[in-house]
């Protein structure tokens, strides 16, 4: 099934725009618990409250090969009706991006991926060519350093724009299969509003609420499309580590449910 359909189905069934970011840090899971075991409990506790899961590959890579095994098992364990977004921020020259796409879509079996735009079209194309898969291009990221380059004002005909706007413009051009979305951080609500205004139908993956400080109401007001959807609101640490004790899974369920309800309040 196409990523976009799978996402719409999960979002509809669970009445949720919440994505749980599986950024599992072995130092933060309860003692003597393995990463996969922890993820399994989080998935069991939240799968009926989310529209997607998003493992960030970095946290698994930091654990070496055992981490990649935990990642593979985690992805395989996620119920088939919930899409998996590989947060990997890959991007390389064409033949190399093809290898990354094979890793993420064919080997790990993810439904979507985040990619970095710096290398331009041929670095993004191999991902986009998997027309059933989703491709989220980094546009305006949620971190402080986002301003270093993404805010630069660029002289581009016909209309000058900030780099993140030019990236969005290109992403829209590249969206031949309807499978391209953008990553726009909740920590930059004005930029989020601008992107939504200019791309009313683009799917937006929005990190940055919770630990990073983005406000839910403002994010929804600025990010929702005309169907009161079109956004995936990610939360990682706030859900995974809602409790450090044995009740972590129940606490995660409560945090995910509360976030879902709070978001739905503003739809």
* Options 12-20, 76-84, 100-108, 192-200: segment touching its own copies (CB under 8 A): 100-108
Is the bond preceding residue 180 a cis peptide, omega within 30 degrees? no
Which of 13, 80, 102, 267 binds its own copies (CB under 8 A)? It is 102
Binding of its own copies at residue 192 (CB under 8 A)?
no
Which of 167, 231, 249, 251 binds its own copies (CB under 8 A)? It is 167
What's the min distance (Å) between Cβ of 48 and its own copies?
Answer: 27
Binding of its own copies at residue 145 (CB under 8 A)?
yes
> Which of positions 217-246 make contact with its own copies (CB under 8 A)?
none
Which of 93, 198, 213, 266 binds its own copies (CB under 8 A)? It is 93
What's the min distance (Å) between Cβ of 114 and its own copies?
Answer: 9
Nearer residue to its own copies within complex by CB, 2 or 72: 72
Nearer residue to its own copies within complex by CB, 33 or 153: 153
Which of 8, 37, 40, 96 binds its own copies (CB under 8 A)? It is 96
153-154 and 161-162: which strand pairing? antiparallel
Closest CA to 82 of 39, 123, 122, 112: 112
Nearer residue to its own copies within complex by CB, 116 or 264: 116
CB-based contact 9:82 (threshold 8 Å): no
Nearer residue to its own copies within complex by CB, 120 or 200: 120
* Options 3-11, 34-42, 64-72, 224-232: segment touching its own copies (CB under 8 A): 64-72
Binding of its own copies at residue 166 (CB under 8 A)?
yes
Cα angle, residue 234 at apex, residues 230 and 240 outer, rounded to 5°: 155
Interface residues with its own copies (CB under 8 A) are 23, 25, 56, 58-59, 61-65, 68-69, 72, 87, 89-94, 96-97, 99-100, 102-103, 106-108, 116-124, 138, 141-150, 152-156, 163, 166-167, 170, 207, 212
């Amino acid at each position: 099934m196409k990523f976009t359909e799978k996402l719409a189905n999960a979002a509809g069934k669970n009445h949720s725009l919440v994505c749980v970011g599986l950024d599992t840090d072995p130092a933060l899971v309860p003692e003597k618990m393995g990463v996969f075991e922890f993820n399994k409990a989080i998935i069991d506790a939240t799968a009926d409250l989310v529209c997607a899961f998003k493992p960030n590959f970095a946290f698994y890579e930091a654990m070496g090969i055992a981490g990649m095994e935990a990642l593979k098992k985690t992805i395989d364990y996620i119920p088939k009706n919930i899409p998996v977004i590989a947060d990997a921020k890959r991007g390389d020259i064409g033949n190399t991006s093809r290898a990354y796409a094979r890793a993420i879509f064919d080997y790990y079996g993810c439904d979507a991926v985040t990619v970095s735009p710096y290398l331009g079209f041929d670095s993004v194309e191999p991902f986009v060519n998997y027309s059933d898969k989703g491709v989220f291009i980094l546009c305006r990221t949620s971190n402080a350093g986002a301003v270093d380059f993404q805010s630069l004002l660029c002289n581009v005909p016909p209309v000058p724009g900030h780099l993140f706007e030019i990236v969005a413009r290109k992403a829209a051009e590249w969206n031949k299969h309807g499978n391209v979305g953008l990553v726009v951080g909740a920590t930059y609500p004005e930029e989020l509003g601008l992107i939504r205004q200019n791309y009313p139908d683009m799917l937006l993956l929005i990190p940055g609420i919770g630990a990073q400080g983005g406000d839910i109401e403002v994010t929804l007001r600025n990010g929702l499309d005309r169907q009161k959807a079109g956004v995936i609101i990610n939360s990682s640490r706030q859900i995974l580590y809602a409790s450090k004790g044995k009740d972590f899974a129940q606490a995660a369920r409560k945090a995910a449910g509360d976030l879902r309800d709070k978001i739905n309040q503003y739809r």
